[in-house]
A and B are shown apart, each in its own frame.
Chain A
């Protein structure tokens, strides 16, 4: 039987529908983004399984964990530098962030009632195990600091708890960057060098936003500076990460993930600029800037999450980088067996 051909006169030897050749050798339904990178796949099906982590649980867990960890550092520094209103706001943000972060983590479990199995072993090879232990140390400290702040009970113990939380807080903000990168998801793993820096920068942006939102202008100068440093770190870290990723950076620029990443960066820049320009004079401007920073940080974490899902769905991002590593991309590798 002669295979079908497209000629100037139209389709020659067309096949009836039920005889149509199955499983195109080119994977993916879209046109090639990078023309030279041809690749094979199994009927365009993904190589790796989709993460079952759900939105908003897991991106919320990342975002609120970052907000909490960075807020604890800010709370201790504010306490030490006698900025009581900023310290109070940061302690409350830390405790609230911790609670929402844990809620997201537990709610996402397939068996939430078995959450405590997380503390059954300690495994440094599992970022989630390390994170669970960090949270179980950090959580009581952050809650005690906020509780003492609100009730006025045990002020010295509360201060000690606030400083303890500030010691563990940075680790709480950064381990989630390792957690996402320690997977086979291309858009997460290929960013494993930069991801912790992007995560802590985004955490600093969120904590600065919370400080600006709830502290008076007389005390918000550190939050304004922190917003600027955090945004600069986030932009630089993301740019470096995407440049190193090559093809796998595509999901960070396309579709839902791309929109979230752009919104996150835009809001963070607007928030930091607003805080720097008007945050010292206008309480309203400071609050709005803080809100923009918090939403921007959340969008960044959501964007990273969605980019990972998108990269897991398309076999291109798994197959092509692995082929490039082996130096055989785009070659015609499946020749006829030699005669004889």
Chain B
């Protein structure tokens, strides 16, 4: 098996590629941010279920988001964006011409965007590729999980992740992130965040079904006049082979702190090893060459 074959899983099922013969379908999250109300029940449920320690009790002053971002002790993060931008407004009691959802052309001067971010459980996961101990592994559900009894805290997964998800826990030394509630999935339950979400902004299920549902939802929103609605991480042909946890966003990804076009770093690894081999040979040849010639 070549390195390229080891790395490329695009188009295939990640659990099958990881060597599972008989495995359940790939599970994932579809986070529909258009119905997120920013209640942060997902953050709380995640912490409660997974015993995730406190991640800092501070007021950022930038918005209602005091969590700030994903990390070792934050496996769900609700982003909160305030924009001076017309979203459209509802007019109570007025006939809506058969449309559901919001109607455009209102007078609202401001909109709030809320989005619950989480580990993307990439099809081509850089954290998993670069982990030197085998602590990070692919589960039978196609998700990516850290084995905490193996991790030696080398920290390589942290700069490898193009989304800024995984991080090292202070005072513990190991790397931690969302497990997509591997323990709950194993007994047929849905992850804690999805179960706690009061608006079904976080939807858990078989990834193929979620992708169909998301395509229908984005079409519904566009028909209702929400031209900014778009899916993020749903495409199996993107730079990470598609995300196991993907999103419906109402603005550009970077507005939510997401990279606009992430590419798994290991796509370039075969080229890097080639350059390293040539560089090593050049070093050997170069040093040997300095010993040629006359002795003084």
Interface: B216 (CB within 8 A): no
> Which of the listed residues B6, B126, B287, B291 has the most CB atoms from chain A within 10 Å of its own CB?
B287
Q: With A23-B63, A200-B279 known to touch, is A185 a contact of B254 (CB < 8 Å)?
A: no
A53 to chain B, nearest CB (A): 6
Give per-residue flags for A39-80: 1 if the beta carbon is below 8 A from chain B beta carbons, else 0. 111110111111111000000000000000110011001101
**Separation of A3 and B110 alpha carbons in the complex (Å):** 11
Q: Please determine whether B154 and A118 come into contact, CB atoms closer than 8 angstroms.
A: yes
Q: Which of B32-40, B47-55, B188-196, B257-265 contacts A (4 or more CB under 8 A)?
A: B257-265
| Chain A, interface SS category | helix
1/0 contact string of B11-42 vs chain A (CB within 8 Å): 00000000000000000000000000000000
A123 to B125, CA, bound (A): 14
Quote the shortest CB–CB distance from A230 to chain B (angstroms). Answer: 8
* Contact of A22 with B225 in the complex, beta carbons under 8 Å: no
- With A118-B154, A178-B276 as given contacts, are A22 and B134 in contact (CB-CB < 8 Å)? no
Q: How many angstroms between the C-alpha atoms of A339 and B132 in the bound complex? A: 54
Assess whether A128 is in contact with B130, with CB atoms less than 8 Å apart: yes
A162 to B49 alpha-carbon distance, docked (Å): 55
Provided the pairs A120-B134, A128-B130, A184-B265 are in contact, do residues A49 and B164 lie with their beta carbons within 8 angstroms? Answer: yes
Which residue of the partner chain, among A3, A170, A339, contacts B283 with CB atoms under 8 Å? Answer: A170
A residues 174-210 in Cβ contact with B at 8 Å: 174-175, 177-179, 181-185, 188-189, 192-197, 199-200, 203-204, 207
Find out whether the CB atom of A45 lies under 8 angstroms from the CB atom of B257.
Answer: yes
Residue of B nearest to A43 (CB): B62
Asked whether B159 lies within 8 Å of A174 as measured between CB atoms, the reply is: no
- A contacts with B, residue count (CB < 8 A): 103
CB of A203 within 8 A of CB of B283, answer: yes
Taking the complex as formed, is B181 at the interface, i.e. its CB lies under 8 A from any CB of chain A?
no
Total interface residues on B, using CB and 8 Å?
94
B109 touches A39 (CB 8 A): no
Query: In the complex, which of the residues B87, B276, B282 has the most CB atoms of chain A within 10 Å of its own CB atom?
Result: B276
> For A336, what are the chain B residues with a Cβ–Cβ distance below 8 Å?
85-86
Which stretch (A220-228, A252-260, A286-294) binds chain B? A220-228
Task: Tell me, yes or no, whether B227 is within 8 Å of chain A by CB.
Answer: yes
Q: How far is the CA of A42 from the CA of B158 in the complex (A)?
A: 20
Q: Are B173 and A337 in contact (CB under 8 A)?
A: no
B205 in contact (CB, < 8 A): no
Is A22's CB under 8 angstroms from B62's CB? yes
Known contacts being A52-B158, A196-B275, is A111 close to B153, with CB within 8 Å? yes
Bound CA span A207–B284, Å: 12
Task: Return the contact of B268 from the options A25, A114, A126, A192 (Cβ within 8 A).
Answer: A192
Q: Is A173 an interface residue (CB 8 A)?
A: yes
Bound Cα distance A52, B169 (Å): 10
A 80-135 contacts with B by CB, 8 A: 80-81, 108-112, 114-115, 117-118, 120-121, 123-129, 132
Does A181 lie within 8 Å of B296, measured CB to CB?
A: no
A21 within 8 Å of B (CB atoms): yes
CB-contact partner of A315 in B3, B155, B168, B254, under 8 A = B254
B255 interface residue (CB < 8 Å to A): yes
A181 CB → nearest B CB, Å: 6
Q: Is the CB of B254 within 8 A of A40?
A: yes
**A110-B254 contact in complex given A171-B280, A338-B225, A338-B227, C-beta closer than 8 Å:** no
B276 touches A174 (CB 8 A): yes
Q: Does A159 contact B (CB under 8 A)?
A: no
Q: Are A22 and B288 in contact (CB under 8 A)?
A: no
Q: Are A43 and B63 in contact (CB under 8 A)?
A: yes
Neighbouring B residues of A69 by C-beta, 8 Å: 283
Question: Is residue B208 contacting chain A, with contact meaning CB distance below 8 A?
Answer: no
B62, A127: Cβ atoms closer than 8 Å: no
A53 to B261, Cβ gap below 8 A? no
A-B contact list, 24 entries, CB within 8 Å: A22-B63, A25-B83, A49-B166, A80-B291, A110-B152, A114-B151, A114-B153, A173-B280, A177-B275, A179-B156, A181-B268, A183-B160, A189-B265, A194-B275, A196-B275, A196-B278, A203-B283, A222-B290, A223-B290, A322-B261, A333-B252, A338-B104, A339-B104, A339-B105
The 3 tightest CB contacts between A and B, nearest first, are A110-B153, A110-B173, A42-B257
Q: Which residues of B contact A (CB under 8 A)?
A: 3, 6-7, 60-63, 68-71, 79, 81-88, 104-105, 109, 126, 129-135, 150-156, 158-168, 172-175, 225-228, 251-252, 254-262, 265-266, 268-269, 271-273, 275-284, 286-291, 293, 295-296
Q: A221-B295, A315-B254 are in contact. List 20 more A-B contacts (CB 8 A).
A: A40-B254, A40-B255, A47-B164, A48-B163, A50-B158, A69-B283, A73-B284, A117-B151, A117-B152, A123-B129, A123-B131, A178-B276, A184-B162, A188-B159, A192-B272, A200-B283, A229-B286, A337-B86, A337-B225, A338-B225
Which of A's residues lie within 8 Å of B, judged by CB? Answer: 1, 3, 21-23, 25, 27, 39-43, 45-53, 69-70, 73-74, 77-78, 80-81, 108-112, 114-115, 117-118, 120-121, 123-129, 132, 166, 169-171, 173-175, 177-179, 181-185, 188-189, 192-197, 199-200, 203-204, 207, 218, 221-223, 225-226, 229-230, 233, 280, 308, 312, 315, 318-319, 322-323, 325-326, 333-340
